[in-house]
Structure 1
Amino acid sequence: MSQYRDIIVNGLWKQNPGVVQLLGLCPLLGISNSVVNAVGLGLATTLVMTFSNGSISAIRNLVSHEIRIPVFILVIAALVTVIDMAMNAFVHPLYLVLGIFVPLIVTNCIVLARTDSFAAKNPVLPSMLDGMMMGIGLTMVITLLGALREVVGKGTLFAGLDLAFGPAAQAFVIHVVPDYKGFLLAILPPGAFFGLGLLIALRNWWDLRSQRRAAQHLPAGLAQGVN
């Protein structure tokens, strides 16, 4: 149970791909201009990471070290193709908006990094949990970034929800700032860098704050060592 707890904490906080490892930044920055787009791509990436980690863990003893990377990429590409075709069939409007970023999950460095660093060395269940938690951690970051950019750039939340759930879902769009004229920079690429920098700074501030609080409950000598 301790191993599973560490995997969850690492994926969501300590080794979060978006704000700690800084991996997979291409989709994180490119498609995070709204919550709907961010969640759509984040969930697709999470599914690919979960099942690619599980598949590669299952065959890790059958693949020689020399050809492991090409085999890993083939497995990831097959899973991405399945996800790509499923999105094309069931959420076609959202699929059109996400565009090339869905097939590009194959080249997302966080997917390959987790298969090589974790799944290739661990059993199936921990590997699938690791892929899921890393994917959820990335989805959390990209969703927060999408919400921040959408509110500042458009004054709305959940704009484009009808792309996934049909025209009736437009009623759930939240107009945070009525009659907002918009701030174009927030939904352009520079806004993604500013937003991500802010999230990284907040995460580092919270981590430092937690360390200082923990140090206050330690004996004086140990607290000086922590500081």
Structure 2
Amino acid sequence: MSRSSLLAHSLMLAPLIGATGSLVIALGLWLMFVVVITLFGLGINALRPRLLPSTHVWASVLLAATLTSCAELGAQVWSLQWHQQIGIYAALLALQCVVLDYCGFFQNTWRSRLRTYGLFGALMVGLGLLRELMGYGTLGIHLPWLMAETQSQWQGWILNADGGLRLATLAPGGFILLGLLIAAWQAYRPTPTK
């Protein structure tokens, strides 16, 4: 794995840990990620032939910041509660766009990009689902946020009336759970025979 590829993947770790406290927050941020990254890729690929090499980074930063700001404003209009929960992680999408462009991600095939989108989405949604089940004892607790409903009595599907382990919804719980999932993957992954 190259250093630039490692940087791009490590930047995905911040929203993976910080914005997966519940299923709805994780799903919403992943959808925002897909929209912003896709629009950025289309825009930068259209601009690339017209840019001088010395202005490419500046154009990339400007385009990423513009698209991310527009997505954040749209999120505020759509659902303020959801936007407040994703916090700084939505703003990190601009940095992710610039780093992915630097790594050559947008010169890859559509199949490769869709694979990355799908893998990141599966990780976000899976970790959000596990953390919500463990932390709140519910499923879909914040679902009205994505439907732009502000005064909903929806409490989600309650699986445990006493709640859950609060640590699972916090960032340290996300690190612990991700570490346990990686350890389980390493333990049960078939080892290649020599």
What TM-score, normalized by structure 1, do the two folds share?
0.71
Matched residue SS, 1:102: helix
Larger helix fraction of residues: 1
Alignment of 1:151-166 (within 5 A): 151-165=133-147, 166=149
Alignment of 1:146-225 (within 5 A): 146-165=128-147, 166=149, 170=154, 173-177=156-160, 179-205=161-187, 208-209=189-190, 212=192, 224=194
Asked if 1:118 is matched to 2:104, the reply is: yes
Deviation at 1:119, TM superposition (A): 4.8
Alignment of 1:1-227 (within 5 A): 21-108=9-96, 111-119=97-105, 121=107, 126=109, 130-165=112-147, 166=149, 170=154, 173-177=156-160, 179-205=161-187, 208-209=189-190, 212=192, 224=194
Listed as ranges, the gaps of 5+ residues in structure 1 are: 1-15, 213-222
- Cα distance change, pair 64–204 in 1 and its aligned pair in 2 (3 A): farther
Report if aligned partners of 1:56, 1:119 keep a CA contact under 8 Å in 2. Answer: no
Deviation at 1:161, TM superposition (A): 0.8
Matched residue SS, 1:180: coil
Deviation at 1:158, TM superposition (A): 1.0
Deviation at 1:121, TM superposition (A): 3.9
Question: Superposition RMSD on alpha carbons, in Å?
Answer: 2.7
Matched residue SS, 1:32: coil
Listed as ranges, the gaps of 5+ residues in structure 2 are: none
- Cα distance change, pair 204–57 in 1 and its aligned pair in 2 (3 A): farther
> Structure 2: how far apart are the matches of 1:186 and 1:60?
43
Deviation at 1:66, TM superposition (A): 2.8
Larger Rg: 1
Matched residue SS, 1:182: coil
- Cα distance change, pair 51–162 in 1 and its aligned pair in 2 (3 A): same
Report if aligned partners of 2:64, 2:95 keep a CA contact under 8 Å in 1. Answer: no
Matched residue SS, 1:159: coil
**In the alignment, residue 139 of structure 1 is paired with which amino acid?**
G
Identity of aligned residues (%): 25
Number of matched pairs: 187
> Structure 2: how far apart are the matches of 1:69 and 1:132?
24
**In the alignment, residue 173 of structure 2 is paired with which amino acid?**
G
